[in-house]
């Protein structure tokens, strides 16, 4: 069975085709700079056939048409006909209060995706465009929306409500939603398969540490809390996002108005985080290099990041009433053994001990990095959001 996964952004469209039985990627590609000059197409399949060239993408329709042509390319076909595609899974960033699970796209569900536009004005419209174009160009093939927020819909009200006048929740759905849900769900599922403890009772914290970072507290497979909020700005400081700050700072910066070309939203989303503090970069590899050379602000940014991670993990241990396992995933979580060690060392008072050698040698593989006598299992589990979308698409349609 073949499942196509699409991540449609405002100016790009990424896709992966899965051979579902083997869970392998048999083709993938990227249409870049849609609607902008110098658009580019890259496609490769499992036989090593590659297309890598400039193409004109005036719209998402052009991009999807080009993807279909490449999949059917007689020189190295991935499929002989579109009918071989059992379903298409679409990444959709914000499902608001409307989607607690992946959902087949109908007129009603598309209308609900539209209602989420105000909370995700950059992503949701582009995600929905991807759905609508595929409906048109692949008629009859089920289209499924898989939502970054859905996994967190099991949070209780005490975790998702903000201390604001209740009418903002009642009238405008202002509440915590959380993001990176497909990633948290995927690594949590893997951790449940790998764990030594009872999976129905497992108290797990998943740490998705990448350019955007978030944490989820998960009990018996259900999310009970997560660090991102109404938008992906809340929680730990990130590459360029501030994370949680005193809300009064927003009006303070706005009143300062020291750079009228930028609004506070832009400063908090694009000029803050480890980049803002260090003045060096949002990329942890650059930060590490600068810190090693004695750059004090890079050192400060890295230590702030780890300290905030430990505080969130500590609060989630309290929320979960204890802890069995911690998972590190995404670019930093999978690759940066120093960050993992710093965070885990600060949790050693709980009896957490790392296998130092294993931690130092683990970069992007699935490994249990805690020592045999550790009170908490610590895993590195590479995330795979595309495979997670494919699995959820198949499950919701009952195709498995």
**Residues lying near ligand AMP in the complex (CB under 6 A):** 210-211, 239, 283-285, 330-332, 335-336
In terms of phi and psi (left: phi > 0; alpha: psi -120 to 50; beta: otherwise), the region of 178 is left
Distance CA 368, CA 358 (A): 8
Q: Which is nearer to ligand AMP, 134 or 301 (CB)?
A: 301
* Run of H or E residues at 64: helix 60-72
What is the end-to-end Cα distance of the chain in Å, rounded? 9
The residue sitting closest to ligand AMP, measured at its beta carbon, is 331
Rounded Cα distance, 400 and 384, in Å:
19
Nearest distance, CB of residue 283 and ligand AMP, angstroms: 4
- Of 66 and 282, CB closest to ligand AMP: 282
| Residue among 135 and 345 whose Cβ is closer to ligand AMP | 345
62, 148, 225, 355: which one is catalytic? Answer: 148
Min separation Cβ 214 and ligand AMP, Å: 11
- What burial letters (b/e) apply to 249-286, b meaning 16+ CB within 10 Å? eeeebeeeeeeeeeebeebbbeebbbbbbbebbbebeb
* DSSP 3-state of 354: strand
Choice between 229 and 239, CB closer to ligand AMP: 239
Of 121, 360, 329, 364, which is closest to residue 212 (Cα–Cα)? 329
Shortest Cβ distance from residue 284 to ligand AMP (Å)?
3
| C-alpha to C-alpha distance for 197 and 220, rounded to whole angstroms | 11
* Total Cβ atoms within 10 A of residue 114: 12
- 73 classed as catalytic: no
Which residue lies nearer to ligand AMP by CB, 151 or 284? 284
Catalytic residues: 148
């Amino acid at each position: 069975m073949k499942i196509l996964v699409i991540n449609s952004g405002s100016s790009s469209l990424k896709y992966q085709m899965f051979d579902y039985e083997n869970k392998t990627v048999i083709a993938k590609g990227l249409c870049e700079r849609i609607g902008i000059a110098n658009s580019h197409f890259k496609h490769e399949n499992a036989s090593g056939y590659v297309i890598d060239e400039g193409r004109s993408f005036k719209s998402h329709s052009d991009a999807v048409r080009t993807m279909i042509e490449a999949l059917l390319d007689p020189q190295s076909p991935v499929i002989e006909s579109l009918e071989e595609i059992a379903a298409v899974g679409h990444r959709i960033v914000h499902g608001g209060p409307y989607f607690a699970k992946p959902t087949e796209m109908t007129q009603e569900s598309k209308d609900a995706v539209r209602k989420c536009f105000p909370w995700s004005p950059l992503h949701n419209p582009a995600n929905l465009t991807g759905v609508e174009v595929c409906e048109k160009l692949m008629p009859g093939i089920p289209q499924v929306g898989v939502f970054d927020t859905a996994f967190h819909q099991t949070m209780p009200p005490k975790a998702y409500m903000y201390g604001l006048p209740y009418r903002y929740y009642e009238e405008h759905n202002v509440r915590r939603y959380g993001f990176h849900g497909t990633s948290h769900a995927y690594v949590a599922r893997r951790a449940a398969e790998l764990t030594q403890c009872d999976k129905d009772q497992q108290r797990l914290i998943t740490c998705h540490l990448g350019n955007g970072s978030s944490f989820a507290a998960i009990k018996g497979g259900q999310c009970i809390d997560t660090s991102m909020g109404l938008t992906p700005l809340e929680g730990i400081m990130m590459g360029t996002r501030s994370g949680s700050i005193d809300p009064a700072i927003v009006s303070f910066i706005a009143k300062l108005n020291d750079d009228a070309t930028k609004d506070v939203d832009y400063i908090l989303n694009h000029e803050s985080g480890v980049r803002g503090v260090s003045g060096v970069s949002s990329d942890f590899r650059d930060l590490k290099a600068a810190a090693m050379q004695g750059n004090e602000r890079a050192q400060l940014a890295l230590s702030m990041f780890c300290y905030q991670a430990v505080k969130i993990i500590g609060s989630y241990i309290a929320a979960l009433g204890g802890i069995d396992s911690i998972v590190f995933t995404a670019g930093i979580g999978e690759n940066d053994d120093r960050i993992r060690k710093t965070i885990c060392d600060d949790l050693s008072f709980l009896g957490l001990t790392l296998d130092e050698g294993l931690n130092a040698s683990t970069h992007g593989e699935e490994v249990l990095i805690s020592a045999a006598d550790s009170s908490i299992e610590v895993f590195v589990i590479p995330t795979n959001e595309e495979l997670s979308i494919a699995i959820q698409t198949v499950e919701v349609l009952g195709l498995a």
